[in-house]
Structure formats: C-alpha cells, structure tokens
Amino acid sequence: MTHSSDHHSECCAPELGALLMQFELGTLSPEQRSAFEKHLMDCDFCLHEAAQMRQLADSLRANRQEIVSAFASEGISINSLLELETNKPKLKPLDIRGELSKPRLFSWESLFGPKAALAFAAAAAFLLVIGLGIFRGDRPAAIGEYEPPAWYGWQSRGQEAPDSILLRAREYYVRQDFEASARDLSAYLSLREDAQAALYLAVCYYQTKKFDLAAKALGRVDSTNRIVFEEAEFYRALILLQQGEQKSAAKILETLVSTQSARADEARDLMKRLE
C-alpha cells in the first residue's frame, strides 16, 4: 500500500520528533518499538524522517572535531548533542496509539532547549555547506540519469524476522545506501520469495554497477503485478544497454512504449538515443 503525499502530511504527531529520537536511541518500550516499526513499514514520510535523523546523528558524531572547531569561536558547545547516543537522554515515554494522525508541531528546541537546537541546526548547515553528501548518495552515471523507483509499502505479514530485515533494507534504500540495502534484500529473499523485493534488489545492484547480479535478480520478477513487472522490464533494458545488447534492449523499450507503461517516456527517450 502506498501512502499519498496528503497522507504523509497527516501522519505526524506533535511529539513525532521525540518519538523518532527515542526510536533511534532505543529508549522506546518493546511494545512501542514494535508498533512504530509496523508503522514505518507503510509510511514513507516517517521512515524518511527516521533515516534523516540517523544520517545526521551519524555524521555529527563522525565529524565531531571539525564541527566543534567551526563553532567554538561563536561560543556554542555541541558536545552534549554529539554525545546523545552515549548519554542516552531519558525522554518521557510516549503513547503512540492514535498520535500519528495529528498535525505536526515539533522543533529541536522543544526537545533540547534553544542553545542545543541552534547548535544542531548550525552543525547540519555546516555539514551541507562543506559538501559531505549525507542526505543523498552518489549514483553511478548510467545511460541517462533515472531516479530509482519509489519504495512501495508492504503490509506487515506477521513474520517478525523477515519484516524486520525488510524494514532495514527499506531504510537503507530511502537513504540510497544501495550496497547495504542489497545485503538485507538478499537476506530477506532467502527467507521469502517476493517479486517486489527482487525488483528492488535488482535496482540496488544496478545502482552499484553489478549488472550481472541485477539481471539475475530480475529473473525472480514475474508478471503478476503489472507495475512491478514494467519497472523490472525497464531495468532489464538498461542492463542490456550497459552490456552492449542494443537490439534486445530496443525490443523491450518498444513494448514499454506501445503498452503505455509508467516508464513509456523514458523508454521513448532511450529509443531516440539508440537511433
């Protein structure tokens, strides 16, 4: 099930920031964590927020000295912020039942106070300015630039271990850490056959230029789901082009155009390049 952007805007509790922080720091109760993980399985907005928080926290810790030096002259200390994971702040446990449909109203200031909030915002801006690239991974140059397909949500199937693996793979995918996502997707597919997961595994391999592995993963995608199958066919064509098989790729592209698939425009553009 894929949530619309309207749903994303509604899927935010006033305490969402604190909830995400507790989720990241491991201070939620087992019941709360389980409930929130199930929610993340089907909510792109909250998953994206969680991934951004983890990326920023990791980058702050990794670049501690640079950031501290950059803001020391301003009299701002961000040591406490950078050591959040070590100190494990005791945030008030949240009741998340029914809270994820309220309008969002959250700021770092509400969690840590104005000075820490300023330090966090300044550190984040500093990281962006110096080009650490923490929010978007580099994608290999392909035959044109194509965004990886959006990750469509699965309904939880009640099998905790596989779903936990899939949740982690999805988080890596949203962060565009395709190597890590591929590892978890491979583990997931060893436990459960899933055409949609096979497609995303193929995309991960394609993004990391492992074209043979990508083609092998696409072999596990059937035509049961038309959207998934058409996306797989588009990537099959891209792989063939990378391997120099232009005629075979052209046939697939022609089919995508004639059937007015979701990738018809991109397929038409690629066909023009092959002329």
Return the pLDDT at 35.
75
Tell me if the pTM is above 0.95.
no
- pLDDT-based confidence at 264, cuts 50/70/90? confident
- pLDDT-based confidence at 163, cuts 50/70/90? confident
Higher pLDDT, 205 or 114: 205
Range 83-87 contact pairs with CB under 8 angstroms and sequence separation of 24 or more? 84/21, 84/25, 84/57, 85/25, 85/57, 85/61
Lowest mean pLDDT segment, chosen from 7-11, 28-32, 99-103: 99-103
- pLDDT-based confidence at 238, cuts 50/70/90? very high
Lowest mean pLDDT segment, chosen from 53-67, 156-170, 228-242: 53-67
Architecture of the structural domain at 160-274: Alpha Horseshoe (1.25)
- pLDDT-based confidence at 44, cuts 50/70/90? low
CB 42 within 8 A of CB 151: no
Lowest mean pLDDT segment, chosen from 46-55, 64-73, 164-173, 208-217: 64-73
- pLDDT-based confidence at 260, cuts 50/70/90? confident
Provide the token pair at 255. 């089919």
Return the pLDDT at 109.
43
Higher pLDDT, 37 or 103: 37
pLDDT tens digits along 124-146: 444 444 333 333 333 333 355 66
Domain boundaries, the chain: 5-129, 160-274
Higher pLDDT, 184 or 136: 184
Provide the token pair at 30. 């087992």
Return the pLDDT at 27.
66
- Tokens 């120099």 — which residue? 244
pLDDT tens digits along 5-15: 333 444 555 45
Q: What is the spatial distance between Cα 141 and Cα 238, in angstroms, rounded to a whole number?
A: 12
- List Cα–Cα distances, 220 to 22, 86, 207, in angstroms: 38, 43, 18
Return mean pLDDT, the chain.
67
Q: Dump the DSSP string for the chain.
A: ----HHHHHH---TTHHHHHHHHHHT-S-HHHHHHHHHHHHH-HHHHHHHHHHHHHHHHHHHTHHHHHHHHHTTT---HHHHTHHHH---PPP---TTTTTSPP---HHHHH-HHHHHHHHHHHHHHHHTT---SSPPPPP-SS--PPPP-PPPPP-S-HHHHHHHHHHHHHHHTT-HHHHHHHHHHHHHHS--HHHHHHHHHHHHHTT-HHHHHHHHTT--SSSHHHHHHHHHHHHHHHHHTT-HHHHHHHHHHHHHTT-TTHHHHHHHHHHH-
